[in-house]
Structure 1
Amino acid sequence: MKKVISILAAGTMTMGLLAGCGSSSESTEEDTSGQAAQEDSADEGSTDAAASDEAETSGNVLIAYYSATGNTEAVANMIADATEGDLFELEPTEPYTDDDLNWSDDNSRVSQEHENEDQRDVELVSTTPENWDSYDTVFIGYPIWWGIAAWPVDHFVEDNDFTGKTVIPFCTSASSGIGDSGELLADMAGTGDWQEGQRFRSSVSDEDVVAWVESLE
């Protein structure tokens, strides 16, 4: 995602310059990429300080998601890897069982919730991540249920203020498109700069997800 990557790159360059002035530091942390600094002993402190600062500046992207069967979670992890963003799983306090998710059973939980909108008030374990105000960009992921976003994401959208944030929906579906799900969530939120969303098939490749992220303005 060009905008997100540009922000992270700018933050890293700035922190790297600051860290260069502190070559006497005795920090022993490893670089955030997992590779130990290969500098000589005189520069080890400044390299490790730069790595620490980079980690602090990489938290301005959040990937919030609800995943019923693991497909949305897989895409969320791919986006997190591509953006170095933070993951935030939306977990119902009463998790859905396999029987609950049986769309073909008119008496299943999701079928009943679909037929009775007042039953879609799904309470979450938590609706707001720590350091919410620090995030500039928020991806919101969900499966498509009957043509709309799975309603466990509703409380997250309703309970948070997206003012000043770029919001990018994404969904997973075997056949349905993303439809108006993103627009409906934007209306529900009432705040934020909501972008056009993207639908991914259940077996989407990492390469396809990364290509989408990099195409974002």
Structure 2
Amino acid sequence: MKKFVTLFLLSVCMMLTLTACGSTEATTSSPPQSQNGVAEKSAPEAEEQKADGNSKILVAYFSCTGNTKTLAENAADVLKADLYEIVPEKKYTSEDLNYKDESTRATVEQKDNSARPAINGKVSSFEKYDTIVIAYPIWWGQAPRIIDTFLESYDFSDKKIIPICTSASSDIGSSADALHNLCSASANWVDGKRFSKDTSKQELEQWFSSHQIQSGK
């Protein structure tokens, strides 16, 4: 009788052990559940977006308020050009741009012909571009000094340069002439133009075509 009881108890223990193992395997093999009981799917890895960089035209721009950025992006789209933002190492604040205060950063820089604000980053393979569009806002009648920094950072020999700018009221004026003096004498400067922030892509395309500037691809 004792032998029978012992065998019965061993059988029960084995059954309980197998049941527990089966429960554990089911739990670990099931997909993770959200709070509402629906199985969650693993999120796909984000695809890295890269510009192909095959254009022979570069649109380089500096923008603080976004107006010149919009113009530059539209110009790059029309010309199928590569786009490069000129980013200052020390970004400009709204107070820096207060033209009513003679002590603000931008005012002091614009009055100093030797001021060269540092740029964060470089244009990769600059030598491959044969045409450079430079887009900038008008500050105190001239291009921001950081554009001077950009022009003095690369060799523009034999490259075509097209200055375009944005302004609430001022025309491109002498700003392009001042920039011209900073580049190699062999650089081919095209007469620039001021555009409003609302200039359409069609208007830009017509203007570029009138200056024999075609798509870069």
TM superposition shift of 1:211:
1.8
- Higher relative helix content: 1
Could you tell me whether the CA contact under 8 Å between 2:136 and 2:144 is conserved in 1?
yes
Counterpart CA distance in 2 for 1:117 and 1:182 is: 15
TM superposition shift of 1:184:
1.3
* Residue of 159, 164, 177 corresponding to 1:165: 159
TM superposition shift of 1:146:
1.3
Query: TM-score under structure 1 normalisation?
Result: 0.69
AA matched with 1:182: A
Instruction: Give the corresponding residue for 1:137.
Output: 131
Counterpart CA distance in 1 for 2:149 and 2:110 is: 16
Does structure 1 residue 179 correspond to structure 2 residue 196? no
AA matched with 2:189: W
Please, which runs of 5 or more residues in structure 1 have no aligned partner?
1-54
Could you tell me whether the CA contact under 8 Å between 1:58 and 1:84 is conserved in 2?
no
Higher-Rg member (1/2) = 2
The change in CA–CA distance for 1:114 and 1:77 in structure 2 (over 3 A counts) is: same
Does structure 1 residue 66 correspond to structure 2 residue 72? no
Instruction: Give the corresponding residue for 1:102.
Output: 98
Instruction: Give the corresponding residue for 1:124.
Output: 119
Question: Displaced runs of 4+ in structure 1, greater than 3 A?
Answer: 55-58, 115-118
TM superposition shift of 1:186:
1.2
Counterpart CA distance in 2 for 1:154 and 1:193 is: 17
Does structure 1 residue 212 correspond to structure 2 residue 207? yes
AA matched with 1:138: I
The change in CA–CA distance for 1:117 and 1:193 in structure 2 (over 3 A counts) is: closer
* Residue of 105, 113, 117 corresponding to 2:109: 113
The change in CA–CA distance for 1:116 and 1:188 in structure 2 (over 3 A counts) is: closer
Counterpart CA distance in 2 for 1:60 and 1:124 is: 23
Please, which runs of 5 or more residues in structure 2 have no aligned partner?
1-50, 213-217
CA RMSD of aligned residues (A): 1.8
AA matched with 1:85: A
The change in CA–CA distance for 1:110 and 1:59 in structure 2 (over 3 A counts) is: same
Instruction: Give the corresponding residue for 2:148.
Output: 154
Counterpart CA distance in 1 for 2:164 and 2:111 is: 24
* Residue aligned with 2:164, SS: strand
TM superposition shift of 1:181:
1.3
Instruction: Give the corresponding residue for 2:7.
Output: none
Question: Is 196-205 or 60-69 further displaced after alignment?
Answer: 196-205
Counterpart CA distance in 2 for 1:183 and 1:105 is: 27
Q: Provide the aligned length of Structure 1 versus Structure 2.
A: 161
TM superposition shift of 1:180:
1.4
Counterpart CA distance in 1 for 2:83 and 2:68 is: 12
TM superposition shift of 1:148:
1.1
Counterpart CA distance in 2 for 1:57 and 1:174 is: 33
Identity %: 37
Cα shift readout 1:50-108 (whole Å, capped 9, x = no counterpart): xxxxx968410000111121111111101110111001111110000111111122222
